[in-house]
Amino acid sequence: MDDQGVRLAERIRGERESRAWSLDELGRRSGVSRAMISKIERCEASPTATVLVKLAGAFDLTLAGLIARAANAGGRVVRAADQPLWRDPATGYLRRQIFARADHPLELARVELPAHARVNAGARTYLKTRHIVWVLEGLLIIEEGEEKHKLAAGDCLSFNLPAQITYANETSGMCTYLVIVERSETA
C-alpha cells in the first residue's frame, strides 16, 4: 500500500474513532462489512471507489472530503504536486483531488476512467450535494437510476437527486472528466 493508501486507512480509523463508533457501527451505517473495514484500517486491503463512497457517506462526507482529510489538504493555493491522487484497485480509476476544503462549499476532482471500467456510487453520495460532470476526453456513460446519459468530450451533466449512479467507460480508450461538487444543507 502506498503512502496515500496508508493515510486514507488512518483517516478512516480516525473518523470512526472520533465518533466513538465500533467497527460494527460503521459497518451498519455504511453497508460495508466489519471485516472489510478492519482490513482497510490495518492496511491489509485497498478499498475500491464503491467502498470509499459508502464509508465517506457514513461519515457525512463526500469522497473528495474524505480524500482531502486524509491528505491534510486545506490551503487556498493547492499546488499540482500536493493534489492527492487515489487509484481504485478494482478498476484502475484515477482520481486527482484538485480542490476540497472543509470551509468551502465546492470541490473539484479530475477523474481518469480506464477502458471498459465501471464505478458505482450509492444514492447516499448525493444527499446534501449537487454534482456537475464535465467530460474532457472520451465517452462517458452515466446511469442515474433508470436514466442513461451518454456524454462526449465537452458535454456536461448536472444532478443532485439521491439515486444510484454508475459511471461507465464502454470504449477501448481512456475517459477523462471533471467532477464539481457543491455541498449544502439544502442541495
DSSP string, 73-140: ---SS--GGGS-EEE-TTT--EEEEEEE-TTSSEEEEEEEE-TT-EEEE-GGGGTTEEEEEEEEESEE
Name 132's Cβ contacts closer than 8 Å, sequence gap at least 6.
156, 157, 158, 179, 180
Confidence of residue 122 (pLDDT cuts 50, 70, 90): confident
pLDDT for 164 beyond 90: no
Phi, psi of 13 (to 5 degrees): -60, -45
Pick from 11-15, 36-40, 49-53 the range whose average pLDDT is largest: 36-40
Q: Can you tell me the mean pLDDT for 140-165?
A: 89
Q: What is the DSSP code (8-state) at residue 3?
A: H
Q: Higher confidence at residue 79 or residue 103? A: 79
The pLDDT of residue 3 is: 80
Confidence of residue 71 (pLDDT cuts 50, 70, 90): confident
Query: Structurally, how many domains does the chain consist of?
Result: 1
Report the mean per-residue pLDDT for the chain. 88
Give the lowest-confidence range in 41-50, 51-60, 98-107, 163-172.
98-107
Percentage of the chain lying above the pLDDT 70 cut? 90
Q: Higher confidence at residue 67 or residue 117? A: 117
The pLDDT of residue 13 is: 94
**R_g (Cα) of the chain, nearest Å:** 16
Total-model pTM? 0.70
**Sign of the four-CA dihedral 68, 127, 50, 59:** positive
The residue segments making up the domain with residue 125 are 3-183
Residue-wise pLDDT tens digits, 111-121? 999 999 999 88
Amino acid making up residue 175 = C
The pLDDT of residue 74 is: 53
Q: Can you tell me the mean pLDDT for 77-86?
A: 86
For residue 150, what is the domain's CATH number?
A: 2.60.120.10
